[in-house]
Structure 1
Amino acid sequence: MQITAAQVKELRERTGAGMMECKKTLTETGGDLEAAIEAMRKSGMAKADKKADRVAAEGRVEIASEGSNAVIVEINCETDFVGNDDNFRAFAANCAQVALGSAVDSVEELMAETVDGQTLEEQRTQLVAKVGENVQVRRFQRMNVDGVFGAYQHGARIGVLVGLNGGDEALAKDVAMHIAASQPVCVDESQVPSEMLDKERAIFKAQAEESGKPENIIEKMIEGRIRKYLAEITLVGQPFVKDPDQTVGKLLEASGASVAGFIRFEVGEGIEKKTENFAEEVMAQARGA
């Protein structure tokens, strides 16, 4: 019997289980949705049903590398307490190692990979049941380096991979550490997205026009602010964190090196976190009563 995408979607919404597990269980139950839900509840896979839509913005970043190949993975949970749990840490490390050793391109494909007779999705579901929180593998990215490779982790929350043309491992690690601290958008001016630059230029122009100065002076003010902005967001333009008297660009130049590329992950970046006010919650309940 052919299992449709709509069936898989409905089962996933009702149980919170992964796509591959939903399809597998529907196949085993001949497409019977209620039987599939019951089977998943019995196996513990549906214990994530109440947790799947909860915000998971904590967790950890894991890095795995071998030779010139490396991967960085972000795995999320709901609290930093679970983020430091040994079971969660082991699952995160396992995900990184599997991603490093596979050729998958998406999180969905990664979760379908099998380790010790279980898919990563099955391991994730069991972990949810054990720790009592929503757990999600959010993203991963690989780096293949022909030159010098550097990695840096700031605790469990920030991870950086960087590849250099020239230089050595010590320099690569220093640059990775700088990227972790200073959050550059890209390597140099040539990589700055045009829409980002246009947006900043429009803001600077509006601010400069309020000064009432002549047009030629305004243009100089805008260009000066653009140069300062580019120095702030580009890796080579930023003051080096370990020696602010020189830029990262000058540091690289002194070693005859350049940056081939970098990846920076920070736990929870871009995830909208729910903020709760306990006093307001109590007042709302009192008013409702």
Structure 2
Amino acid sequence: YQETKDRAEWMDMVNRLTRAIGLSLDMTDVYDTFTAALRNLVDFDRISIAVPEGDNLRFLAVSSEVPTELGTGVTIPLKKSVAAWVIAHRSTNIENDFAQERQFPVDETHLRDGLRSAIRVPLFYKGEVFGTLNLTSRHPNSYEDKKKRIVLEQIAGQVAVAIKNALLYEEAKRACEEAKRAYEELNVAQDYMVRSEKLRALGEMAGGVAHDFNNVLSVILGRAQLALDSVEDPRLKKSLHAIEQAALDAAKTVRRLQEFT
């Protein structure tokens, strides 16, 4: 009778958890919800979700009752990790006592942190393992109960879908943000190109005006110099020299304008 009652309670918890985590696409909300629910089922002092990223394993989320260097966002080599074993074997890994036997390099860290036993459950999505749900305890043999392991695997199946959906949602958000930034950068580039084209057109126009103005100045300067050679009146010569100098000064200004354009 007690076994049937326990199973009914566990299945009820699985159903309630499934409904709860299905209401959110936020990774933190999903993680906090199922972490709180799991405390009613199994003993753990640290819980984490880890996913492979290339040659590394990244901890997406970590909650720990004891100090740890393996916090959220930390990466460790995937090779020879427990996650690599779980992914390769597509099955749950249980270690009953780190003090007696340590199968993986990370177990040394767990033992230093005062942890003694662990269970690592594969997270399946569409038939593929994309990560692991990891629970560790300060007590040895915390995960020997086969019935609880089965229930934990059932919960992990529901959690995996919610986590994957949250990850896909985050990827979609990042893609939208990147697209928005790219669009803004494109607008900036287009504005720059428009301004550059306007400046280029203005430069061409200024160059044309300078050329025409230079032709006019050449005529004025030439006429003034011819007149200087043919007049004797000092006052008239003075006026013609003023015209000549003004034309020469204007020609210098035109040359500077041509150099700029």
Higher fraction of helix: 2
Q: Pick 1 or 2: higher relative contact order, CA cutoff 8 A, min separation 6.
A: 1
TM-score by length of 2: 0.23
Identify, as 1 or 2, the structure richer in strand.
1
Bigger Rg over Cα: 2
Superposition TM-score, scaled by structure 1 size: 0.22
